[in-house]
C-alpha cells in the first residue's frame, strides 16, 4: 500500500477546477468550484498532495480507481487490462507525462456494455473527436474514467446520502443530520469532480459494472446521474461494494439499477396494503383492549409484517419449506398473529390472568415460541414456521435458531439449505451492542455450522429503550457487524413500503442464489415509549415531537394508492373493518377460555416421540460384548487404505495401545466414550460432538479424526465407518466461542430427540462465557417453554495444580440451579431414579470410571424423555492407569451407577468400618491411593457419588445404613464454598433424617478456584488427604 501511494503521489495531480455556472439538480455537486472533498469526518479520503501535473487523464475522481488498478498490477500484471499494464510499465520506467498511455490492441469481441470507445467519438462532439492517427483524444479517456469513477462512487457511497429516516432527522450512519448535509450531499458520494455543465448532455459509454442503461450501452451524463440517484440515493441505501466477488456485486447492481426494477403490479400493491392494515390493526386492537399492558408493540415499524411476509413468499417460491425464526420482544405478538397466523384466541388468552392447564412456570407472552404448519396462500405451497422461544436476553436466541435450523437441514438431507432457512430479527441497539451477534455471524460459513445463509431483519427504530444511537454504538450503522462476513446490507426507509418489499425480495433471492447471510435494516421509529407504559418525552423530546406529527405509514400508503387509483377509499375502509371484526370475534372467544396451555406455545414439537412410551421406563444401557469388541477394533485400526493413508507415528502408538485394551477387555476414558457413541450410532442414533478442538481432544486423548500426514484435508473418522447402516457421526471443531456454539448445539438438540448432541468446553471454566445459555435456556427452558433437550455439556474439571483457571467448571453453580428440593426425600420405589430424573430440570454428574461415563451417555437416549446432562469430565484421569473399566461393566445387564459403593475390604466387614467417606470425581483416586498407603482399607470405606443431582437419596441412605458405626464425611478437592458441598450437605441431612452428621473435609472457603502455586497445591492436597483419612 505504501508503495502504491508513493507511486501514485507522483502520478496523480489534483484536477484543476474552474468555477462554473449554476447547475441543475443533478449537476450541482459536480460543478462546485472548491474541491473540499466531503463533510464526513473519519472517512477514508485519500489525499495526494503533489501538485505536479503529470498524467492529464488521471484526476481526483479516478485516483482511487487507479490506485486499485495499480495495486492489482503490482500483485499480478496480468490481472489488469493490457492498457493499464502498458501504462504502469511505461510510467514506472520513467515515461514523460502524457507518454505513458498507449492504446491497447483490440483482441476480443466487446462484452456487455463494451463498445469500443472510438465508436462513441461521433457522440462526443469536438472534445471527443479522435485525434489524428487513430489515437483517442486523451480528454475522452479522462472523461470516461471520471464517469466510471462517479458510477462506482454511487454504488459504494450512495447509501450515505439516501433518505432513510422516515422522521427526516438523522442519516442512518449517524454522522450528520439532514440539515448538516443540506446543499452538499453529493460531495459525500463523489468527493471529487471534474466534468463541466456542458458535459451534462454528452453521451458516455457505460462500463460493464453498471446496469443503469438496461439495453442501452451509452447514456448522457444527466441521465446517468438521474438513474444512479434513483437506484442508490432514494429510500434504499445499500452497502455491498466491500464484497470481494464481482459476480455477487454485479448481481446486486443489477437488482437495484435495472430500469423499472422497482415497479410492481396493482395486485402486489393491494397485498402490501392489506398486510399493513392487519399489522396496524392488530396493535391498535391490543392498545384499545389492554391499554396498560406491556406488549412491546410494533407501532412505527408496522411494515415489518409485510416485509417478513415478502421474505417468506419469495423464499417459498424459491423452494424453502421451513423457516426457523428468532426475534426479540418488539412486535413479537404481531409476528405470531400476522406472520405465523397463530390463532388470535391463543394470543388474547395470554392477556387474561388464567391458570395454566399444564406443568411449568410459563413465560411472559412476548417471549413465547410457536410452531405452525400452513399453506402459503401466495405461493400455494405448504410452509412450516417456527418462532423460537427466547428469554429477555436480547440476541441470545440467535445461535439457538441457527443450531435448530442446521439440524433441520441435516435431518432432511438439505445439504445446501434449499428447503430450510433461518430468519433472524433484531433491534438496532441490540444488534450492534450484543457480542453474540458477532459470534453467530462467525458460525455462518463454517462447514458444520452453516445454515447456508440467514436473512437478518433489523427493526431499526433508532432508539434502544431510552438511549440514543449516538450513545449506544461507535459504528456508523447499527448493522456494521454484518460486514465481517461480507453480507450485503440493505438500509431502507420504513415509510416506503414498496422499497421495503423490493429489498425483501432481493434478500430472499440473494440467499437462494448465494446461500450467504444478508441484512435488511428497516429504518423506522418507535411511536410509543419503550413499552406502552413508558414516557418517551422524558428523554427524546425532539424526536417524539416529530413522531407525533408523523402520519402512520398505513395512512400514507393508503392515500398514495388511492391517488394512483389502485384502491378506493371504501376498499381501504372495508379491509380495516374486516380485520377489526376478526379481532373482535377472537376476543369474545378468548374470553370463554378458562385455562392457558403452555403446549400451545411449543416451538419444537417432537411428534411421535412421547407417544406410546412408558414415561418411567428406561431402556437398558449395557450392550453386547461383540459390539464393544467391534467398535473397539474399528477405533484402534488405521484407515482401511492404510498403505496410502499415512498417519502419524504417535497415532499409530495410540491405536496399538487401544487395540491392546480391547484385547484385554478394558477401556480407558476415550475408548469408553467412543464405545458409547459407537453403540448409539449402531442403533441409528445421530451423534454430534462439537466444541473447540474436540476432534483431537484438548488433551490429545480422543483422536476421532485422523489426518493424512502428506495430503491436505485427507482425513479418516473411524466412528463414521462402524456399520453400513449406522447413524451419522458428526465431530466438529468449532469457532472459538462458547456462548455462540453452546447456544447452537442447544438449538441443534431441540430438533430431533433421537440424537445425542454434545458440547465440550475446552476447559470447564470457559463455560462461564456461555452463562446466558446455561441460565436462560438449559436450566430453565423446559419449565418456561415446555421444551425438552437432551444436550450433553462436557466440562473438564478438577484441581491438578495448574492454577486458578482451568481447574473448576464451577460445579457449584450447576448444582445451585438444580431444581430438586433439598428437604424432600421422594417415596422409594422401583422407579425412584427415573422419576427423579423426570421431575428435575437437568442432571449433574461427575463420573469416575469410563464405564459409568459410557452408561450415562447412553442413558441420555435410553430415557423416555430428554433432560440436559451436565458432566464434569476428567483431565488427569484420561491417562490414569486405574481409571479404566472392564467390558464386564458395560455389557448387558450393567447400567449407570448413581453411587459406586466401596468394594474393598471395608465393604466385607462394614460394621468395623470407622469412617465412611463420600466423594465425587477424580479425588476418589487420590483418596484411595492415600488410604492404601496408610493401610486403612479395612477402616475407611469410600463411596463415590457419581450422579450428584438429582441426589441419590435412596442409595446414600442405604450406604450409610450399611456402615452403621462409621462416622460420615464428604471429601472434596474444591474449596468449601465451591464444588458439591453446599448442595449435598442439606440433602445428606434429609437422606438420613438428621440422624447422623456428615462432616466436611476439604479446602477452606476461597475466592479463587485454585492456587497458582504447584507447591501450595500439593500442600493443600496432602492436608485434605490427612483430614479425610484421620480417624
Ligand atoms: C442482554 C440484554 N440487556 C439488556 C436488556 C434490557 N433491554 C430490553 S429492551 C432494551 C432496548 C433494546 O433496544 P433495541 O435493540 O433497539 O430494540 P427496541 O426495543 O428498540 O425494538 C434493553 C436495553 C435485555 N433485554 N437484554
Ligand atoms: Mg431500537
pLDDT at 1001 over 70: yes
Write the pLDDT tens digit of every residue in 727-750. 999 999 999 999 999 999 999 999
Q: Is the CB of 427 under 6 A from ligand 1?
A: yes
pLDDT at 554 over 80: yes
Tell me the mean pLDDT in the region 502-531: 97
Q: Closest Cα to atom 10, ligand 1: which residue?
A: 465
Which ligand is closest to the CA of 328, given by its number? 1
What is the CA(434)–ligand 1 centre distance, in A?
A: 10
Q: What is the pLDDT of residue 182?
A: 61
Q: Closest Cα to atom 9, ligand 1: which residue?
A: 465
Grid coordinates standing for 845?
Answer: 454428574
Write the pLDDT tens digit of every residue in 778-833. 999 999 998 899 999 999 999 999 999 999 999 999 999 999 999 999 999 999 99
Q: What is the pLDDT of residue 96?
A: 53
User: What's the CA gap between 301 and 525, in Å, rounded?
Assistant: 6
User: Among residues 776, 788, 780, 735, which one has the least CA distance to residue 759?
Assistant: 735
Tell me the mean pLDDT in the region 107-111: 45
When mean pLDDT is compared across 90-94, 672-676, 923-927, the lowest value belongs to 90-94
pLDDT at 586 over 80: yes
Q: Which of 28-32, 110-114, 376-380, 838-842 has the highest mean pLDDT?
A: 838-842
Residue 127's SS3 state is helix
Q: Is the CB of 393 under 6 A from ligand 1?
A: yes
DSSP structural state of residue 740: H
Q: What is the pLDDT of residue 592?
A: 86
Tell me the mean pLDDT in the region 396-402: 98
What is the CA(516)–ligand 1 centre distance, in A?
A: 27
Report phi then psi at 519, rounded to 5. -120, 135
Q: What is the pLDDT of residue 139?
A: 82
Residue in the block written with cell 400493491:
269
Cα 264 to its chain centre, rounded Å, is 34
Q: What is the pLDDT of residue 853?
A: 98
Residue 150's SS3 state is helix
In the chain, what is the straight-line distance between the N-terminal and C-terminal CA atoms, in Å? Answer: 76
pLDDT at 666 over 80: yes
What is the CA(479)–ligand 2 centre distance, in A?
A: 12
Question: Can you tell me which atom of ligand 1 is nearest the CA of 427?
Answer: 15
Q: Closest Cα to atom 7, ligand 1: which residue?
A: 465
Q: Which of 179-188, 583-592, 689-698 has the highest mean pLDDT?
A: 689-698
User: What's the CA gap between 280 and 583, in Å, rounded?
Assistant: 12
User: Among residues 622, 512, 603, which one has the least CA distance to residue 789?
Assistant: 603
pLDDT at 870 over 70: yes
**Which is more confidently placed, 819 or 161?**
819
Question: Can you tell me which atom of ligand 1 is nearest the CA of 772?
Answer: 1
The residue to mutate among 283, 367, 394, having the most atoms of ligand 1 within 8 angstroms of its beta carbon, is 394
- Round the average pLDDT of the chain to a whole number and report it: 88
Cα 954 to its chain centre, rounded Å, is 43
Which residues are within 8 A (CB) of 120 and not within 5 positions of it... i.e. 6 or more apart? Answer: 128, 140, 203, 204, 205, 218
**Which is more confidently placed, 198 or 259?**
259
**Which is more confidently placed, 949 or 57?**
949
Q: What is the pLDDT of residue 101?
A: 52
Q: What is the pLDDT of residue 55?
A: 42
Q: Is the CB of 394 under 6 A from ligand 1?
A: yes
Q: Closest Cα to atom 26, ligand 1: which residue?
A: 393
Tell me the mean pLDDT in the region 360-379: 80
What is the CA(868)–ligand 1 centre distance, in A?
A: 28
Pairing of strands 489-493, 518-523: parallel
**Which is more confidently placed, 615 or 651?**
651
Tell me the mean pLDDT in the region 509-536: 95
Q: What is the pLDDT of residue 136?
A: 63
When mean pLDDT is compared across 189-198, 288-297, 980-989, the lowest value belongs to 189-198
Question: Can you tell me which atom of ligand 1 is nearest the CA of 459?
Answer: 21
* Ion ligand 2 neighbours, Cβ < 5 Å: 427-429, 461, 463-464
Grid coordinates standing for 324?
Answer: 426457523
Q: Is the CB of 430 under 6 A from ligand 1?
A: yes
Which ligand is closest to the CA of 739, given by its number? 1
Tell me the mean pLDDT in the region 370-387: 90
Q: Is the CB of 984 under 6 A from ligand 1?
A: no
Q: What is the pLDDT of residue 513?
A: 98
User: What's the CA gap between 703 and 669, in Å, rounded?
Assistant: 12
User: What's the CA gap between 24 and 20, in Å, rounded?
Assistant: 12
**Measuring CA to CA, how many Å separate 308 from each of 340, 647, 789?**
10, 51, 29
What is the CA(330)–ligand 2 centre distance, in A?
A: 9
Taking the complete model, does pTM exceed 0.85, yes or no? Answer: yes
Q: Which of 36-40, 295-299, 690-694 has the highest mean pLDDT?
A: 690-694
Q: What is the pLDDT of residue 329?
A: 94
What is the CA(465)–ligand 1 centre distance, in A?
A: 6
Q: Is the CB of 857 under 6 A from ligand 1?
A: no
Q: Is the CB of 631 under 6 A from ligand 1?
A: no
What's the half-sphere exposure (Cβ side, CA atoms, 13 Å) at 418? 7
Q: What is the pLDDT of residue 817?
A: 98
Q: What is the pLDDT of residue 68?
A: 67
SS (H, E, C) 699-733: CCCCCCCEECCCCCCCEECHHHCCCCCCCCEEEEE
Q: Closest Cα to atom 13, ligand 1: which residue?
A: 464
Q: Residue 74: which pLDDT band, with cuts at 50, 70 and 90?
A: confident
What is the CA(430)–ligand 2 centre distance, in A?
A: 7
Write the pLDDT tens digit of every residue in 437-469. 999 999 999 999 999 999 999 999 999 999 999
What is the CA(491)–ligand 2 centre distance, in A?
A: 15
Q: Residue 878: which pLDDT band, with cuts at 50, 70 and 90?
A: very high
Write the pLDDT tens digit of every residue in 224-239. 999 999 999 999 999 9
Pairing of strands 420-427, 454-460: parallel
Q: What is the pLDDT of residue 433?
A: 97
Q: Is the CB of 527 under 6 A from ligand 1?
A: no
Q: Is the dihedral of CA 694, 700, 701, 702 positive or negative?
A: positive
Q: Is the CB of 299 under 6 A from ligand 1?
A: no
**Which is more confidently placed, 656 or 46?**
656
Q: Is the dihedral of CA 712, 713, 714, 719 positive or negative?
A: positive
What is the CA(914)–ligand 1 centre distance, in A?
A: 59
Q: Residue 363: which pLDDT band, with cuts at 50, 70 and 90?
A: confident
The residue to mutate among 300, 302, 333, 430, having the most atoms of ligand 1 within 8 angstroms of its beta carbon, is 430
Which ligand is closest to the CA of 394, given by its number? 1
Q: What is the pLDDT of residue 175?
A: 65
Q: Residue 137: which pLDDT band, with cuts at 50, 70 and 90?
A: confident
What is the CA(462)–ligand 2 centre distance, in A?
A: 5
Q: What is the pLDDT of residue 467?
A: 95
Amino acid at each position: 500500500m505504501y508503495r502504491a501511494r508513493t507511486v501514485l503521489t507522483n502520478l496523480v495531480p489534483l484536477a484543476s477546477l474552474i468555477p462554473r455556472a449554476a447547475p441543475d439538480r443533478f449537476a450541482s455537486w459536480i460543478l462546485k468550484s472548491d474541491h473540499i472533498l466531503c463533510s464526513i469526518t473519519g472517512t477514508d479520503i485519500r489525499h495526494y498532495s503533489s501538485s505536479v501535473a503529470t498524467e492529464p487523464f488521471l484526476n481526483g475522481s479516478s485516483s482511487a480507481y487507479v490506485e486499485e488498478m495499480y495495486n492489482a498490477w503490482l500483485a499480478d500484471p496480468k490481472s489488469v487490462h493490457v492498457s493499464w499494464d502498458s501504462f504502469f510499465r511505461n510510467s514506472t520506467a520513467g515515461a514523460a507525462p502524457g507518454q505513458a498511455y498507449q492504446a491497447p490492441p483490440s483482441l476480443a469481441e466487446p462484452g456487455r456494455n463494451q463498445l469500443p470507445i472510438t465508436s462513441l467519438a461521433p457522440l462526443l462532439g469536438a472534445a471527443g473527436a479522435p485525434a489524428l492517427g487513430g489515437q483517442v483524444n486523451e480528454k475522452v479517456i479522462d472523461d470516461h474514467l471520471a464517469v466510471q469513477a462517479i458510477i462506482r462512487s454511487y454504488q459504494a457511497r450512495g447509501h450515505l446520502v439516501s433518505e432513510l429516516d422516515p422522521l427526516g432527522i438523522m442519516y442512518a450512519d449517524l454522522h450528520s443530520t439532514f440539515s448538516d448535509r443540506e446543499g452538499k450531499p453529493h460531495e459525500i458520494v463523489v468527493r471529487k469532480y471534474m466534468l463541466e455543465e456542458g458535459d451534462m448532455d454528452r453521451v458516455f459509454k457505460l462500463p460493464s459494472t453498471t446496469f443503469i442503461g438496461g439495453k442501452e450501452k451509452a447514456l448522457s451524463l444527466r441521465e446517468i446521474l438521474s438513474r444512479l440517484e434513483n437506484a442508490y440515493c432514494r429510500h434504499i441505501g445499500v452497502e455491498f461494494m466491500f464484497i470481494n466477488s464481482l459476480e455477487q456485486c454485479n448481481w446486486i447492481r443489477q437488482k437495484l439499477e435495472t430500469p423499472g426494477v422497482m415497479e410492481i403490479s396493482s395486485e402486489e400493491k393491494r397485498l402490501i396494503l392489506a398486510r399493513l392494515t392487519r399489522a396496524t390493526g392488530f396493535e391498535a386492537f391490543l392498545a384499545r383492549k389492554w391499554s396498560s399492558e406491556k406488549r412491546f408493540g410494533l407501532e412505527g415499524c408496522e411494515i415489518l409484517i409485510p416485509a417478513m411476509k415478502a421474505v417468506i413468499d419469495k423464499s417459498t417460491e424459491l423452494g424453502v419449506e421451513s423457516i426457523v425464526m428468532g426475534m426479540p420482544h418488539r412486535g413479537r405478538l404481531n409476528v405470531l398473529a400476522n406472520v405465523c397466523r397463530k390463532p388470535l384466541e391463543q394470543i388474547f388468552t395470554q392477556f387474561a390472568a388464567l391458570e395454566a392447564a399444564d406443568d411449568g412456570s410459563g413465560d411472559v407472552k412476548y417471549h413465547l415460541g410457536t410452531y405452525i404448519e400452513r399453506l402459503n396462500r401466495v405461493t400455494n405451497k405448504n410452509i412450516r414456521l417456527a418462532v423460537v422461544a427466547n428469554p429477555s436476553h436480547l440476541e441470545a436466541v440467535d445461535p439457538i435458531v441457527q443450531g435448530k435450523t442446521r439440524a433441520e437441514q441435516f435431518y432432511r438431507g438439505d445439504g445446501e439449505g434449499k428447503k430450510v432457512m433461518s430468519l433472524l430479527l433484531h433491534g438496532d441497539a441490540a444488534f450492534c451492542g450484543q457480542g453474540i451477534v458477532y459470534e453467530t455471524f462467525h458460525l455462518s460459513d463454517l462447514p458444520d455450522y452453516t445454515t447456508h445463509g440467514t436473512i437478518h431483519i433489523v427493526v431499526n427504530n433508532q432508539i434502544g429503550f431510552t438511549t440514543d444511537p449516538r450513545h449506544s454504538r461507535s459504528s456508523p450503522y447499527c448493522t456494521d457487524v454484518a460486514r465481517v462476513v461480507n453480507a450485503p446490507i440493505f438500509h431502507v426507509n420504513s415509510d416506503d413500503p414498496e422499497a421495503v418489499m423490493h429489498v425483501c425480495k432481493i434478500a430472499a433471492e440473494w440467499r437462494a442464489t448465494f446461500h450467504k447471510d444478508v441484512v435488511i435494516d428497516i429504518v423506522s421509529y418507535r411511536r410509543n415509549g419503550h413499552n406502552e407504559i413508558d414516557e418517551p418525552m422524558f428523554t427524546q423530546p425532539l424526536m417524539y415531537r416529530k413522531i407525533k406529527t408523523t402520519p402512520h405509514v398505513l395512512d400514507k400508503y393508503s392515500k398514495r394508492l388511492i391517488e394512483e387509483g389502485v384502491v378506493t377509499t371504501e376498499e381501504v375502509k372495508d379491509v380495516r373493518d374486516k380485520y377489526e371484526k376478526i379481532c373482535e370475534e377472537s376476543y369474545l372467544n378468548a374470553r370463554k377460555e378458562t385455562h392457558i396451555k403452555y403446549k400451545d406455545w411449543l416451538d419444537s414439537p417432537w411428534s411421535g416421540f412421547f407417544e406410546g412410551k412408558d414415561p418411567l421406563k428406561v431402556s437398558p444401557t449395557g450392550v453386547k460384548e461383540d459390539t464393544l469388541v467391534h467398535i473397539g477394533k474399528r477405533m484402534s485400526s488405521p484407515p482401511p487404505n492404510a498403505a496410502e493413508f499415512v498417519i502419524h507415528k504417535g497415532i499409530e502408538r495410540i491405536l496399538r495401545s487401544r487395540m491392546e485394551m480391547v484385547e484385554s477387555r478394558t477401556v480407558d476414558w476415550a475408548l469408553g466414550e467412543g464405545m458409547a457413541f459407537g453403540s448409539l450410532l449402531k442403533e441409528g442414533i445421530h451423534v454430534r460432538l462439537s466444541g473447540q478442538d474436540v476432534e483431537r481432544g484438548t488433551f490429545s486423548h480422543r483422536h476421532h479424526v485422523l489426518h493424512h500426514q502428506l495430503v491436505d484435508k485427507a482425513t479418516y473418522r473411524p466412528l463414521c465407518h462402524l456399520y453400513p447402516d449406522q447413524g451419522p457421526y458428526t465431530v466438529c471443531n468449532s469457532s472459538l466461542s462458547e456462548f455462540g456454539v453452546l447456544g447452537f448445539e442447544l438449538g441443534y438438540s431441540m430438533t430431533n430427540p433421537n440424537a445425542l448432541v454434545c458440547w465440550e468446553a475446552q476447559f470447564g471454566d470457559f463455560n462461564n462465557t456461555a452463562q446466558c445459555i446455561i441460565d436462560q435456556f438449559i436450566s430453565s427452558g423446559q419449565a418456561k417453554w415446555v421444551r425438552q433437550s437432551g444436550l450433553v455439556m462436557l466440562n473438564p474439571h478438577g484441581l491438578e495444580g495448574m492454577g486458578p483457571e482451568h481447574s473448576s467448571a464451577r460445579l457449584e453453580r450447576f448444582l445451585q440451579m438444580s431444581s430438586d428440593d433439598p428437604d424432600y426425600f421422594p417415596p422409594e420405589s422401583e422407579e425412584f431414579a427415573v422419576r427423579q430424573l423426570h421431575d428435575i430440570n437437568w442432571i449433574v454428574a461427575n463420573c469416575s470410571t469410563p464405564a459409568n461415563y459410557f452408561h450415562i451417555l447412553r442413558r441420555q437416549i435410553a430415557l423416555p424423555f430428554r433432560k440436559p446432562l451436565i458432566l464434569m469430565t476428567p483431565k488427569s484421569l484420561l491417562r490414569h492407569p486405574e481409571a479404566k473399566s472392564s467390558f464386564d461393566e458395560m455389557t448387558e445387564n450393567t447400567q449407570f451407577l448413581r453411587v459406586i459403593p466401596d468394594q474393598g475390604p471395608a465393604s466385607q466387614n462394614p460394621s468395623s468400618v470407622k469412617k465412611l467417606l463420600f466423594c465425587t470425581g477424580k479425588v476418589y483416586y487420590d483418596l484411595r491411593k492415600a488410604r492404601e498407603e496408610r493401610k486403612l482399607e479395612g477402616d475407611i470405606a469410600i463411596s463415590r457419588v457419581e450422579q450428584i443431582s438429582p441426589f441419590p437419596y435412596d442409595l446414600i441412605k442405604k450406604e450409610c445404613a450399611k456402615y452403621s458405626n462409621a462416622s460420615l464425611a464428604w471429601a472434596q478437592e474444591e474449596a468449601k464454598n465451591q464444588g458439591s458441598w453446599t448442595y449435598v450437605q442439606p440433602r445428606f441431612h434429609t437422606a438420613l433424617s438428621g440422624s447422623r452428621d456428615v462432616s466436611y473435609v476439604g479446602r477452606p472457603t476461597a475466592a479463587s478456584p485454585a492456587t497458582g502455586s504447584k507447591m501450595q497445591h500439593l500442600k493443600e492436597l496432602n492436608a485434605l488427604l490427612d483430614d479425610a483419612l484421620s480417624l
